[in-house]
């Protein structure tokens, strides 16, 4: 395991929900990161944000770690969930709620329902 892989593994292991993104949850630096952070923020999910723009090793390392070519990347309880399109799709289908329920991650169910209603 490389140093950067170990660092990423530690980040993923030490928080229930981790979003590797461009920017921060308070100030996303790209539209896709903004969308995923916005969903998590709106749903009241307690998550750790990792700004890949602040660390080139992490920026490339996370792509190798997950074998996924794009940022953002969402992890829940150590499991890679996906990027913006997958998280958006899962939010609208209710699969993200199910994943959070299965993994014991707290979130605002009413807010999740509102997202679906607004996009119906």
pLDDT in tens, 10-69: 999 999 999 999 999 999 999 999 999 999 999 999 999 999 999 999 999 999 999 999
Q: What whole-number distance in Å separates Cα of residue 91 and Cα of residue 89?
A: 5
**Rounded to 5 degrees, what are φ and ψ at 80?**
-70, 125
pLDDT digits (tens, 9 = 90+) for 90-116: 999 999 999 999 999 999 999 999 999
**84 appears as a binding residue in the annotation:** no
Query: Strands, DSSP E only, in 22-83?
Result: 48-51, 73-76, 79-82
Domain ranges of the chain: 3-118
pLDDT score, position 120: 84
Q: Which CATH superfamily is domain 3-118 in?
A: Glutaredoxin (3.40.30.10)
Q: Which 8-state DSSP code applies to residue 28?
A: B
Nearest-CA neighbor of 12 among 40, 49, 38? 49
Rounded to two decimals, the pTM is: 0.96
């Amino acid at each position: 395991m490389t140093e950067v892989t170990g660092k990423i593994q530690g980040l993923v292991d030490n928080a229930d929900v981790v979003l590797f993104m461009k920017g921060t949850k308070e100030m996303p630096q790209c539209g896709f990161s903004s969308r995923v952070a916005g969903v998590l923020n709106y749903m009241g999910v307690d998550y750790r944000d990792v700004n890949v723009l602040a660390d080139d090793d992490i920026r490339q390392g996370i792509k190798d770690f997950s074998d996924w070519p794009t940022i953002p990347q969402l992890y829940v309880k150590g499991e890679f969930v996906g990027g913006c399109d997958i998280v958006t799709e899962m939010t609208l289908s209710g699969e993200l709620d199910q994943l959070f329920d299965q993994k014991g991650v707290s979130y605002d169910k009413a807010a999740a329902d509102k997202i679906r209603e607004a996009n119906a």
